[in-house]
Amino acid sequence: MSSGIFLSNIRSKGDIGGVFESDGAVSYFYLYDLSNEQGKVLSAIHVQSGVPDFSDTEIEIRWNLNEHAVGLYIKGHLWAVFSSNGAKYGGNYEPDGDPNISAELKSSF
C-alpha cells in the first residue's frame, strides 16, 4: 500500500521518542534518545520485511498512561512496545498474526 512511512511520538518530557519507519521494503520501530542535539537510536524492533499491507493512516504510536512504555499500533492492534529503559516486546508483524506482547503490558495502554 505504501512506498514510505515515517511517524514518531515524543514523550512529554521530550527526552525519548518512538519512531516508525518503513521504506516499502523493510519496516522498523525505534526507541530514539532525544536528550542531546545529535540524538541516537537506543533500540530497534523489526516490524516487517516486504511491502507493507498498511498505510500511514493505519499506524499509530502511543505512550502508555504513565509514559513508561511506547507502543506501535498497526490497524488498531498493538504490535511492538519499548519500555522507557529499552526493553522490547513484539514485532514481526503478520496480517493475521498475534504479537508476542503480554496482556498485562497491553492493558497499560
Whether the per-residue pLDDT at 1 is higher than 60: the answer is: no
How long, in residues, is the chain?
109
Nearest CA to 91 among 40, 32, 47?
A: 47
pLDDT band at 3 (very low <50, low <70, confident <90, very high): low
Q: How far apart, in whole angstroms, are the C-alpha atoms of residue 91 and residue 94?
A: 9
What is the tens place of the pLDDT at every residue in 29-67?
999 999 888 789 999 999 999 999 999 999 999 999 999
Beta strand ranges found along 1-92 (DSSP E): 5-10, 16-22, 26-33, 40-49, 59-63, 69-74, 77-83, 88-90
**Global pTM exceeds 0.85:** yes
The 10s digit of each residue's pLDDT in 71-106 is 999 999 999 999 988 899 999 999 989 899 999 999
Under 8 Å between Cβ of 81 and 58 = no
